Structure 1
Amino acid sequence: MSHVSSVRFTSVLSAALLALPLIAAPYAAAQAVPNGYPADYAKTIDAAKKEGKLVIYSSTDQASATPLLDDFKKEYPFVNVEYQDIGTSQLYSRFLAEAAAGSPSADLLWSSAMDLQVKLAADGYALSYASPESKNFAPENSYQNMAFGTTLEPAALIYNKRLVKAGDLPATHAAFAKLLSGGKLSGKLATWDPEKSGVGFTLMEYDNQSNKDFGAVSQGLGKAQAGLYSSTGAMLEKVVSGEALYGYNIIGSYALLRQQTVPDLGMKFWKDGTIAFQRVAFINKNAKAPNTAKLFLDYLLSRRGQLVMANKALIYSLRSDVAGKATRTTLTQQVGGAANLKIIAVDKRLLDNLVPATRNAFLDIWRKNVKGQ
């Protein structure tokens, strides 16, 4: 082809391309204001584009969080997320140390230690934010527009299906206490160490408040010489390996996710009352990326985010308008009705757990019953 012909061909091609209808790029479309949000939410999105990196401290396991982070990136592809998976107690103490030193810290904190999260909010570390999603949640799902419940996490009894027959499983706490006292489960139990785990303390202390048979259960755990752990992962490993037959008050969402690859892992909810906590998120008042943090918080609370929780992350969703495997509706059915679902509210009563006298009173009972001290 001659040079003249080449130029003519290029000109014709360019003209043809210019004549094509414009198609919005996925990048631009992904940044549209979500349906039902106020129009000025576009300002939050625009401000977030200038912030760059979003730093998240979270006790949610990376495996569970990844589907949510990936989908959030699809919604807002300009965001660079730094996600740090940290234990509940370490998350709390690390954030406080960084705040005291004026050091860089997380923009958003997402933790299963409800009392510690509300404590940080009550002490002035959280940004007050009227989320557009708040209308879809009940008052007990948030604390003063600062700390927000995002999930519904049941405390389950897990077991090894190879070693425990389904027909032998206790349906109530009283039946479980009787099983523990039988003397056949010595060294075959795994549960929380409430002295080392924030979420472990919350679950066990609320169990003590709401379960009339907790005294008998805790004494049974002591008689069975239950192993005490500070993470769900460690307890799951003990049960999956068969070293432990049962795990008590285990976070159900993690067990549900593990069941996808380990069919021998069983999970059962109590018919006389199943505790469920809420994984609480708040935005750091001194966040370097407050607008990006708002986007992520709103995403967690949105129907889109909750659908990903229920169907991909397999974290039990909090919203009632979500369908899937891990939802409020399916959980309510599994525990035998709403009356049997004992949800811990996100409110100031959680702060009672941190009053030294109250905390020590429970731990004294725990040490006596479980540790024989």
Structure 2
Amino acid sequence: MTRNRIVLASALVAVATLVASVYVALWEPKSVTRTNLEVWSATDTTAISAVIDGFEASYPDIAVRYSEFNTSELQNAVLTAKKMPDLVISSAMDLQVKLVNQGFASRIEDLPATPEWSRWRDELFGFTQEPVALVYNREAFSGRQLPSTRSELASMIRDNPTFFDGRVGTYDIAVSGVGYMFATQDAQRGFQASRLVESLGRAKAKVYCCTSDMVEDVADGSLVLAYNVIGTYALAKVREDSRIGILLLADYALVFTRSVFVTQQSGNKAGAGAFVRFLLSNAGQTLLREHSSLFPLVDNVYEGQSFFETRFEGSTSLLPIRLRPSLLTWLDQRKKDKFLNDWEASMRRQGQP
């Protein structure tokens, strides 16, 4: 090739490269600078991922960074954090109220309307309503009557030691924050709670940190039933596994709400407020209903209690736990120590090691 042809070829390559680079520049989407939104949560990632995806689609300039804890770990993390997250989410309503009462939360305004029991001081907001349930092994109870009340359950466990011994489960309330809350709420409903704890102890009940572990052991037959499990998590498993049944007792079914607050030290309060508004909006609540194991809070997403009636056996006598300072009563250290000591003594005295 002659020198002139080499120069011409080089020029053509340069022009082609320039055209290509202009083409790419015209069609390549401009990069979006995204701000991070740090969320610390005691909620399974899979249960809330659809809401996070929906929020990020609505707010493409915000990237959610989601960290998962159990309820007690989450509270300790917030209390000892050198750098606070933007949002805190937990199922342990009492621990959330305590953190808000200690000044960790920021006020948010202009939120969608929600039930009065599910919000406190415009700083703490419930976004689900979830029943506390009993899970049982269907094969084990084939031909056996299921209990309909706590009184019946206590008597049934007491009168059938061969069937129940070592085969019932419940929360370890010394370890699980939400388990402790369920136990204290039961205690406020009368003497049947202490009678049931004694029966659980007599049956050498196994104690657990988490609903998921209890449900797994019910499914494989290690347990015949588990008491005071989070109904939404259990229902997600029931849909996949016909070995498990889920029951709401007729005397009452506690209903709790997962709650969220924006931290006082949040570095992205605008984004955090937008996330809370999205959670409580019709769009966010619909995502919970259709793409999550969690149950939505806002009534206009479903037709009243029929939402529960179509998903659970047994009662729809629902008893919401209110997001209020009264929850702090059982977090007073002396009261808590006494409650735990009495609970552990009942369990040990009746058969626990």
| Aligned match of 1:112 | 91
Aligned to 1:53: 36
Structure 1 residues 181 and 345: CA distance shift in structure 2, 3 A: same
Structure 1 stretch displaced more, 116-125 or 305-314: 305-314
Amino acid at match of 1:89: S
Q: Per the alignment, in what secondary structure is the counterpart of residue 129 of structure 1?
A: coil
Query: Is 1:215 matched up with 2:198?
Result: no
Q: Which amino acid aligns with 1:278?
A: T
Give CA deviations for 1:119-141 in whole Å, capped at 9, x if unaligned.
111111100112421xx223221
Measure the CA separation in 2 of the matches of 1:165 and 1:82.
46
Larger deviation, residues 246-255 vs 294-303: 294-303
Deviations 1:10-43 (A, max 9, x none): xxxxxxxxxxxxxxx9x9xxxxxxxxxxxxxxxx
Query: For 1:368, which of 339, 345, 348 is the aligned residue?
Result: 345
Identify the residue that residue 198 of structure 1 maps to in structure 2: 177
Asked whether the 8 Å contact 2:97–2:324 carries over to 1, the reply is: yes
Residues 217-232 of structure 1: matches in 2 within 5 Å? Answer: 217-232=196-211
Give me the whole-angstrom Cα distance separating, in 2, the residues matched to 1:351 and 1:106.
23
Given the alignment, which residue of 337, 340, 350 partners 2:327? 350
Q: Structure 1's 239 and 211: CA in aligned 2 closer, same or farther, altered over 3 A?
A: farther
User: Alignment partner of 2:339: what SS?
Assistant: helix
Cα separation, 2, equivalents of 1:322 and 1:108:
24
1:206-249 CA-partner distances (Å, limit 9, x unpaired): 01112541121111100111111111121111111211111100
Task: Give distance in 1, aligned partners of 2:270 and 2:120.
Answer: 20
TM-score normalised by length of structure 2: 0.85
Aligned to 2:5: none
**Residue ranges of structure 1 left out of the alignment (5+ in a row):** 1-24, 28-48
Q: 1:329 to 1:300 in 2, by over 3 A?
A: farther
Partner of 1:165: 142
Shift of 1:97: 0.4
Q: Is the 8 A contact 2:256 2:320 kept in 1?
A: yes
Q: CA deviation at 1:67?
A: 1.7
AA matched with 1:76: Y
> Which secondary structure state, in structure 1, belongs to the residue aligned with residue 164 of structure 2?
coil
Q: Calculate the aligned-residue CA RMSD, in Å.
A: 2.5
Query: How far has the Cα of 1:50 moved from its partner?
Result: 7.2
When residues 175 and 272 of structure 1 are mapped into structure 2, their CA distance, relative to the original with a 3 A threshold, is same
Residues 58 and 109, structure 1, Cα contact 8 Å, conserved in 2: yes
Aligned letter for 2:88?
L
Q: Aligned residue for 1:66? A: 49
1:243-274: CA deviations, max 9, x gaps?
11111000000011112322222100011101
Q: What is the match of residue 146 of structure 1?
A: 123
Residue 266 of structure 2 aligns with an amino acid whose one-letter code is A
Q: Distance in 2 between matches of 1:198 and 1:166?
A: 36
Which residue does 1:36 correspond to in 2?
none
Letter matched to residue 264 of structure 1: R
CA distance in 1, matches of 2:188, 2:70: 24
Does 1:123 find its partner at 2:106? no
**CA contact 1:211–1:273 (8 Å) conserved in 2:** no
| AA matched with 1:156 | A
| Superimposed CA distance per residue, residues 287-309 of structure 1 (whole angstroms, 9 cap, x where no aligned partner) | 11111111111111112111111
What secondary structure does 2:299 align onto? Answer: coil
Please say if residues 118 and 350 of structure 1, whose CA atoms lie closer than 8 Å, have aligned partners that are also in contact.
yes
- 2: CA distance between counterparts of 1:279 and 1:238? 25
Distance in 2 separating the partners of 1:198 and 1:262: 27
Alpha-carbon distance in 1 for matches of 2:76, 2:60? 32
CA distance in 1 between partners of 2:34 and 2:78 (Å): 21
In 2, Cα distance between the equivalents of 1:258 and 1:217? 26
Distance 1:123 1:77, change over 3 A: same
Larger radius of gyration: 2
In structure 2, the CA distance between the partners of 1:150 and 1:166, relative to structure 1 (3 Å rule), is farther
The within-5 A match list for 1:241-280 is 241-280=220-259
- 1:80 paired with 2:63, answer yes
1:51 shift after superposition: 6.7
Alignment match of 1:293 (pick from 254, 264, 272): 272
Give the C-alpha shift of residue 332 in structure 1: 6.3
3-state SS of 2:147 partner: coil
How many residue pairs get aligned? The number is: 321
Q: 1:328 to 1:58 in 2, by over 3 A?
A: farther
State the shift of 1:166 in Å.
7.5
Partner letter of residue 56 of structure 1? V
Q: TM-score, normalised by structure 1?
A: 0.80
Distance of aligned partners of 1:367 and 1:131 in 2 relative to their CA distance in 1, 3 Å threshold: farther
